[in-house]
Amino acid sequence: MKEKIILGVDPGTTITGYGLISCKGKKLELITYGVIKLGKLTEASHPQKLKKIYDRITSIVLEYKPDEFAIESPFHGKNIQAMLKLGRAQGVAIAAALAVDIPVFEYAPKKVKMAVTGNGNASKEKVSGMLEYILNFKYEEALMDASDALAIAVCHSYQNEATVTGGKGKGWASFLAANPDRIKK
Protein backbone atom coordinates (compact mmCIF):
# COMPACT_ATOMS: atom_id res chain seq x y z
CA MET A 1 0.00 0.00 0.00
CA LYS A 2 1.46 3.34 -1.09
CA GLU A 3 2.02 6.09 1.43
CA LYS A 4 0.39 9.44 0.67
CA ILE A 5 1.61 12.69 2.25
CA ILE A 6 -0.91 15.48 2.72
CA LEU A 7 -0.03 19.10 3.49
CA GLY A 8 -2.80 21.00 5.25
CA VAL A 9 -2.71 24.80 5.43
CA ASP A 10 -4.75 27.20 7.56
CA PRO A 11 -4.01 30.55 5.90
CA GLY A 12 -3.95 33.80 7.78
CA THR A 13 -2.48 37.26 7.52
CA THR A 14 -1.01 37.25 11.02
CA ILE A 15 -0.32 33.52 11.42
CA THR A 16 -0.51 30.78 8.81
CA GLY A 17 -0.57 27.22 10.12
CA TYR A 18 0.67 24.13 8.34
CA GLY A 19 0.63 20.42 9.09
CA LEU A 20 1.80 17.33 7.27
CA ILE A 21 0.42 13.85 7.75
CA SER A 22 1.19 10.49 6.20
CA CYS A 23 -1.65 8.18 5.14
CA LYS A 24 -1.04 4.51 4.54
CA GLY A 25 -4.35 2.70 4.24
CA LYS A 26 -6.36 3.62 7.34
CA LYS A 27 -3.28 4.61 9.33
CA LEU A 28 -2.62 8.33 9.76
CA GLU A 29 0.67 9.58 11.19
CA LEU A 30 1.89 13.05 12.05
CA ILE A 31 4.96 14.15 10.11
CA THR A 32 5.32 17.75 11.31
CA TYR A 33 3.37 20.91 12.02
CA GLY A 34 4.09 24.56 12.71
CA VAL A 35 3.21 28.17 12.06
CA ILE A 36 4.44 30.96 9.85
CA LYS A 37 4.41 34.06 12.04
CA LEU A 38 3.70 37.12 9.98
CA GLY A 39 3.21 39.65 12.76
CA LYS A 40 1.11 42.76 12.79
CA LEU A 41 2.83 44.58 9.99
CA THR A 42 1.59 47.80 8.42
CA GLU A 43 -0.84 47.92 5.52
CA ALA A 44 2.04 48.70 3.16
CA SER A 45 3.80 45.50 4.21
CA HIS A 46 0.96 43.16 3.19
CA PRO A 47 2.84 42.11 0.02
CA GLN A 48 5.84 41.12 2.17
CA LYS A 49 3.54 38.91 4.28
CA LEU A 50 2.29 37.23 1.12
CA LYS A 51 5.85 36.64 -0.05
CA LYS A 52 6.74 35.10 3.31
CA ILE A 53 3.75 32.70 3.06
CA TYR A 54 4.67 31.75 -0.49
CA ASP A 55 8.36 31.24 0.32
CA ARG A 56 7.72 29.13 3.44
CA ILE A 57 5.03 26.94 1.84
CA THR A 58 7.35 26.46 -1.15
CA SER A 59 10.19 25.34 1.15
CA ILE A 60 7.85 22.91 2.98
CA VAL A 61 6.65 21.50 -0.36
CA LEU A 62 10.23 21.05 -1.58
CA GLU A 63 11.38 19.44 1.68
CA TYR A 64 8.48 17.02 2.31
CA LYS A 65 7.18 16.51 -1.25
CA PRO A 66 3.48 16.13 -0.36
CA ASP A 67 1.23 14.26 -2.77
CA GLU A 68 -1.78 16.48 -2.06
CA PHE A 69 -2.46 19.94 -0.66
CA ALA A 70 -5.56 20.79 1.40
CA ILE A 71 -6.51 24.30 2.47
CA GLU A 72 -9.38 25.95 4.27
CA SER A 73 -11.77 27.55 1.78
CA PRO A 74 -12.88 31.16 2.14
CA PHE A 75 -15.72 31.83 4.50
CA HIS A 76 -18.11 34.75 4.59
CA GLY A 77 -17.41 37.55 7.00
CA LYS A 78 -18.53 41.08 7.61
CA ASN A 79 -15.14 42.75 7.10
CA ILE A 80 -14.60 42.83 3.34
CA GLN A 81 -11.00 44.11 3.61
CA ALA A 82 -10.05 41.28 5.96
CA MET A 83 -11.65 38.74 3.62
CA LEU A 84 -9.72 40.12 0.65
CA LYS A 85 -6.43 39.88 2.55
CA LEU A 86 -7.23 36.33 3.67
CA GLY A 87 -8.10 35.42 0.08
CA ARG A 88 -4.69 36.68 -1.03
CA ALA A 89 -2.99 34.57 1.66
CA GLN A 90 -4.93 31.53 0.46
CA GLY A 91 -4.00 32.33 -3.12
CA VAL A 92 -0.25 32.50 -2.56
CA ALA A 93 -0.30 29.27 -0.53
CA ILE A 94 -2.24 27.54 -3.32
CA ALA A 95 0.17 28.98 -5.92
CA ALA A 96 3.12 27.44 -4.04
CA ALA A 97 1.51 23.98 -4.40
CA LEU A 98 0.42 24.49 -7.99
CA ALA A 99 3.92 25.64 -8.98
CA VAL A 100 5.08 22.03 -8.53
CA ASP A 101 1.86 20.40 -9.77
CA ILE A 102 0.46 19.26 -6.42
CA PRO A 103 -3.33 18.80 -6.55
CA VAL A 104 -5.18 21.32 -4.39
CA PHE A 105 -8.37 20.66 -2.40
CA GLU A 106 -10.43 23.15 -0.40
CA TYR A 107 -12.63 22.49 2.64
CA ALA A 108 -15.05 24.73 4.51
CA PRO A 109 -14.29 25.21 8.23
CA LYS A 110 -17.51 23.42 9.28
CA LYS A 111 -16.71 20.43 7.05
CA VAL A 112 -13.25 20.15 8.64
CA LYS A 113 -14.70 20.25 12.16
CA MET A 114 -17.38 17.72 11.21
CA ALA A 115 -14.82 15.35 9.73
CA VAL A 116 -12.55 15.47 12.78
CA THR A 117 -15.06 15.68 15.64
CA GLY A 118 -18.46 14.78 14.20
CA ASN A 119 -19.68 18.31 15.06
CA GLY A 120 -19.43 21.15 12.54
CA ASN A 121 -19.60 23.70 15.36
CA ALA A 122 -16.88 22.12 17.54
CA SER A 123 -14.48 24.39 19.42
CA LYS A 124 -10.81 24.64 18.48
CA GLU A 125 -10.01 22.84 21.72
CA LYS A 126 -12.29 19.91 20.81
CA VAL A 127 -10.70 19.69 17.35
CA SER A 128 -7.17 19.71 18.78
CA GLY A 129 -8.16 17.09 21.38
CA MET A 130 -9.46 14.77 18.66
CA LEU A 131 -6.31 15.36 16.61
CA GLU A 132 -4.19 14.34 19.59
CA TYR A 133 -6.15 11.10 19.70
CA ILE A 134 -6.26 10.46 15.93
CA LEU A 135 -2.57 11.25 15.34
CA ASN A 136 -1.32 10.08 18.75
CA PHE A 137 0.61 13.19 19.79
CA LYS A 138 0.47 16.06 22.27
CA TYR A 139 0.19 19.41 20.53
CA GLU A 140 1.48 22.73 21.83
CA GLU A 141 -1.27 25.24 22.60
CA ALA A 142 0.80 28.06 21.11
CA LEU A 143 0.42 26.35 17.74
CA MET A 144 -3.39 26.43 17.50
CA ASP A 145 -3.25 27.53 13.85
CA ALA A 146 -1.07 24.50 13.12
CA SER A 147 -3.69 22.32 14.81
CA ASP A 148 -6.27 23.76 12.41
CA ALA A 149 -3.98 22.94 9.48
CA LEU A 150 -3.61 19.35 10.71
CA ALA A 151 -7.40 19.12 10.95
CA ILE A 152 -7.65 20.21 7.30
CA ALA A 153 -5.15 17.50 6.29
CA VAL A 154 -7.04 14.85 8.31
CA CYS A 155 -10.35 15.99 6.80
CA HIS A 156 -8.85 15.59 3.34
CA SER A 157 -7.57 12.11 4.16
CA TYR A 158 -11.09 11.14 5.24
CA GLN A 159 -12.47 12.16 1.85
CA ASN A 160 -10.88 9.00 0.48
CA GLU A 161 -13.62 6.46 1.25
CA ALA A 162 -11.12 3.64 1.73
CA THR A 163 -9.39 5.60 4.49
CA VAL A 164 -12.59 6.33 6.37
CA THR A 165 -14.62 3.19 5.91
CA GLY A 166 -12.35 0.58 4.40
CA GLY A 167 -14.44 0.89 1.24
CA LYS A 168 -17.57 -0.63 2.84
CA GLY A 169 -20.37 1.75 3.62
CA LYS A 170 -20.45 5.35 4.67
CA GLY A 171 -20.81 7.33 7.83
CA TRP A 172 -19.61 7.14 11.42
CA ALA A 173 -21.28 3.81 12.22
CA SER A 174 -19.38 2.10 9.39
CA PHE A 175 -16.19 3.88 10.36
CA LEU A 176 -16.45 2.75 13.98
CA ALA A 177 -17.29 -0.81 12.95
CA ALA A 178 -14.28 -0.91 10.63
CA ASN A 179 -11.95 0.76 13.17
CA PRO A 180 -12.63 -0.62 16.68
CA ASP A 181 -9.02 0.16 17.64
CA ARG A 182 -9.75 3.89 17.24
CA ILE A 183 -12.52 3.96 19.86
CA LYS A 184 -11.37 5.44 23.16
CA LYS A 185 -12.80 3.52 26.11
The domain limits of the chain are 4-160
Q: In this predicted model, what pLDDT tens digit does every residue of 74-113 receive, in sequence order?
A: 776 678 888 888 899 999 999 999 999 999 999 999 999 9
Kindly name the residue from 55, 68, 72, 125 that is annotated as catalytic.
72
pTM above 0.85, yes or no: no
**3-class state of residue 138 by DSSP:** coil
Residue of 3, 10, 55, 106 marked active site: 10
Torsion of CA 108, 70, 53, 3, to 10 degrees: 160
- pLDDT tens, per residue, the chain with 185 residues: 789 999 999 998 889 999 999 999 889 999 999 999 987 755 558 899 999 999 999 999 999 999 999 999 877 667 888 888 889 999 999 999 999 999 999 999 999 999 999 999 999 889 999 999 999 988 777 687 899 999 999 999 998 643 443 444 455 665 566 667 666 66
- Please confirm, yes or no, whether 181 is among the known catalytic residues: no
DSSP 1-55: ---EEEEEEE--SSEEEEEEEEEETTEEEEEEEEEEE--S--GGGHHHHHHHHHH
Helix-then-strand count for the chain, H and E: 7, 5
What's the fold here for domain 4-160?
Nucleotidyltransferase; domain 5 (3.30.420)
- In the annotation, is 68 catalytic? no
Exactly one of 63, 101, 132, 145 is catalytic; name it. 145
Task: Put the strands of the sheet holding 4-10 in their side by side order.
Answer: 27-37, 15-24, 4-10, 68-72, 104-107
Q: Decide if 145 is catalytic.
A: yes
